[in-house]
Amino acid sequence: MARTGQPQDPVSTPQRILDAAEELFAEHGFDGVSIRQITARAGVELALANYHFGPKQDLFVAVITRRADALNSERRRLLEALPEPPTVEGLIDAFSRPFLEKSVHGGPGWKSYARLIAQTANAARWTRDIMTAQFDPIAEVFLAGMRRALPGAQEEDLYWGFHFLVGAMTLMFAETGRIDALSGGRFRAGDLERIHARLVPFMAAGYRALAEVASGNRASRK
């Protein structure tokens, strides 16, 4: 498209603002960043943030929702491609792999997005409500699949198992570096493929343990 090596409008102003906001919100949280800092990093004037996105809260919502669609449509595609009935491992992989792929190969914006999601999901604020609106529909698809994969499990087990999975995934993709420090640098948060290779069998075994206790309660006490 571009005729010369000189880029003409490489990225639009709204996109520059979104990218800067994503990075800074991820690092400092909603209240830890000013619109001045965002527009300065984006290389645009202060007034343009409000012109394109309205108040600061609306800009935050725009940052969250921008990547949620791409993530969830990929999740839905993988979940619907599973055999019937699906396996526990297949469900967990289909639910977690899109974030893995985006984080590893999607560019630095996806790393910021993962950190932002981790902060927001664990907060007790209006920001968390945006998250549930974005991610609860795909959670229903996951839970419906798990209901068929583990027909002996109690409903309650399916939900709390999902909660454990989400908590682990959230912390994992946030790449906080806690294990780096704890292990003296032997294991690194950036090795997402290595962690994911353990996440799937770990969570699958956990889910199965809950389902087996439920089934076992009907057959034997011990």
Partner DNA sequence: GTCTATAGCTTGATAGAC
Partner DNA sequence: GTCTATCAAGCTATAGAC
Q: Which residue, chain included where needed, has tokens 């902060």? A: 119
- Alpha-carbon dihedral sign for residues 68, 145, 175, 196: negative
Assess 154 for contact with DNA (CB under 7 A).
no
Helices (H), the chain: 13-28, 35-42, 46-53, 56-80, 88-105, 108-121, 126-149, 155-174, 178-182, 192-219
Question: Is residue 37 a contact point for DNA (CB under 7 A)?
Answer: yes
- Euclidean distance between CA atoms 16 and 7, whole angstroms: 15
Residues lying near a second copy in the complex (CB under 8 A) are found at 26-32, 115, 118-119, 121-125, 128, 132, 136, 139-140, 143, 155-157, 159-172, 174, 176, 178-179, 181-183, 186-187, 194-195, 198-199, 201-210, 213
In the range 78-107, which residues lie near DNA by CB under 7 A? none
Shortest Cβ 185–a second copy spacing (Å): 12
Among a second copy, DNA, none, partner that 144 touches (CB below 5 to 8 angstroms by kind):
none
**Among 18, 24, 44, 169, interactor with DNA by CB under 7 A:** 44
Distance CA 123, CA 119 (A): 6
d(CA 84, CA 104): 29
The least distance separating DNA from the CB of residue 17, rounded to whole angstroms, comes to 9
Nearest approach, Cβ of 56 to DNA (angstroms)? 4
Q: Determine contact, residues 214/152, Cβ cutoff 8 Å.
A: yes
Residue closer to DNA, measured from CB, 60 or 162: 60
Q: How far is the CB of 169 from DNA (least distance, A)?
A: 30
Q: Find which of DNA, a second copy, none residue 84 binds, CB within 5 to 8 Å per kind.
A: none
Which of a second copy, DNA, none does 81 bind, CB closer than 5 to 8 A by kind? none
In whole angstroms, what is the distance from residue 192 CA to residue 175 CA? 9
C-alpha span between 212 and 154 (Å, rounded): 10
Binding residues for DNA, per CB under 7 A? 13, 33-37, 44-48, 50-52, 54-57
